[in-house]
Amino acid sequence: MIGTQLMRFKNFAALSVLLLSSPLLAQTGPGGVGNATGAGGQPRVALWLRSDIGVTPGTNATGVSAWTDQSGNGNNFTQATVANQPVFTTNVINGRPILRFNGTSQFMQMGAGLNSTNALPISFFAVTNSSATQTNPKGLFDSAPFNANTFRFYNDGSGGANVPPAGNNNSVEFWNNNPAIGGYTLNASASTIVSAIGDLNGGNRRLTVFRDATQISTATGNATGVNFTTPQFGRINGGDYFNADLGDAIIFNGVALNAAQRLVVENHLGAKFGRSLGANDYFSNANTVGATGFNYDVIGIMGLNTGEKQSNSSTPDGAVNLTEDIGSLTTAGAPKCTFIGHNNTPVAATTNFMAGLAPTFTHNLGRDYWLESTGSQQYAITFDFAAAGYACLPSQDPQ
């Protein structure tokens, strides 16, 4: 069962007080999953690069010198050499901008903020956009260029367990092919939601990769730690470059997201960049309602029949919080989930009421929200107008 609802927030003071008193405002990462520190036992968002925020200079058809981390951890990526800068290009994927890498010289690198010789577990997400012929993910990311035991998008075909055929660079691997998963191609002339979960299975490296929320493969390697040392987007080992566009990129470190958390992040990215996730698309109407769609700041909660769940989510500014009520996401059947996103209209009071509102209301929020639920469940939605950047107005609602 799928239900949808258009929402306009009213009764300003009451809603604000309700959210401000809530102790659950911890998860403000992508899709409402995790936070910058891992506080409260939540997943730690170590890196969150957004193509629509934090790009310097952020001018169309101009090289990018800095890409600011939105996680709050300061893991910024930079490129001072003009000839090596990817090009910021507007209105490419679902109206969103991207960074365009030329496949020959362009890359970005960060400092030591993620450095580790034992980085697992990790959860990696990226949104790419490819031409009809350039579907190879080679060079998308390298966790430790010129170092051993790196996590990267490449395969040198040198042989060994779990190694794709020689010359097949369409792969994701923990160096040196331990393990490696081949046959991973990006969608031609379209965007791709790239996901990779690295964890330990019996003390050994395990890599599981997904394309558009569908699992491609999983493989297990040796027990050596995975290395992060000044990682790069756009090339590996100084000579193999990424030849496609990059939208958002996200890394959770110290945690392998469970399936519900992963699906919430993937649906957040799928809605934002207009990529269908097929049977795993739980916010499918986000891009089809209204003039611009409701694909901004999408957050969600979800429960699966495996017991895995994401039960509390907030937007990055803390303005909207979505919380499971009385354990209703526990399910023995199909997934249960609720997602909400807005249409990016200004956060301001308006008197343009929806039909049926009581005449005693004087104002409501001009920004509209679209809510979509799958499966029978109970949830709570709260709103903090101060966090949204708008002072509360008194309500004349007698309730």
In a domain, 38, yes or no: no
Using DSSP's 3-state secondary structure scheme, residue 291 falls into coil
Q: What is the DSSP letter of 271?
A: H
- Tell me: the pLDDT tens digits for 351-388? 665 556 556 666 667 788 899 999 988 999 988 877 77
In a domain, 196, yes or no: yes
DSSP letters for 113-133: TT-BS---SEEEEEEEE--SS
Residues 61 and 20 in one domain: no
In a domain, 8, yes or no: yes
Residues 247 and 328 in one domain: no
In a domain, 399, yes or no: no
In a domain, 39, yes or no: no
- 92 — phi, psi (to 5°)? -110, -50
Residue 42 · residue 69 · CB < 8 Å: no
In a domain, 325, yes or no: yes
- Tell me: the pLDDT tens digits for 214-239? 999 999 999 999 999 999 999 998 88
In a domain, 183, yes or no: yes
Rounded to whole angstroms, how far apart are CA atoms 18 and 29? 21
Residues 198 and 273 in one domain: no
pLDDT band at 2 (very low <50, low <70, confident <90, very high): low
- Tell me: the pLDDT tens digits for 44-97? 999 999 999 999 999 999 999 999 999 999 999 999 999 999 999 999 999 999
In a domain, 391, yes or no: no
Residues 11 and 135 in one domain: no
Structural domain for 349, as ranges: 2-26+259-383
Residues 166 and 293 in one domain: no
- Tell me: the pLDDT tens digits for 12-40? 333 333 333 343 445 899 999 999 999 88
Q: Is pLDDT at 341 greater than 80 in this prediction?
A: yes
Residues 22 and 50 in one domain: no
Q: How many CB atoms lie within 10 A of CB 30?
A: 26
Rounded to whole angstroms, how far apart are CA atoms 4 and 243? 39
- Residue-level pLDDT at 4: 55
Residues 204 and 270 in one domain: no
Residues 150 and 277 in one domain: no
DSSP letters for 324-376: E-TTTT--SSS-EEEEEEE----S-EE--PPTT--TT---EESS-EEEEEESS
**Of 253, 273, 301, the domain-final residue:** 253
Residues 65 and 178 in one domain: yes
- Tell me: the pLDDT tens digits for 283-307? 987 777 666 689 999 999 999 999 9
- Structural domain count, the chain: 2
Tally the residues of the chain: 399
Residues 249 and 264 in one domain: no
What predicted TM-score, i.e. pTM, was given to this entire model?
A: 0.90
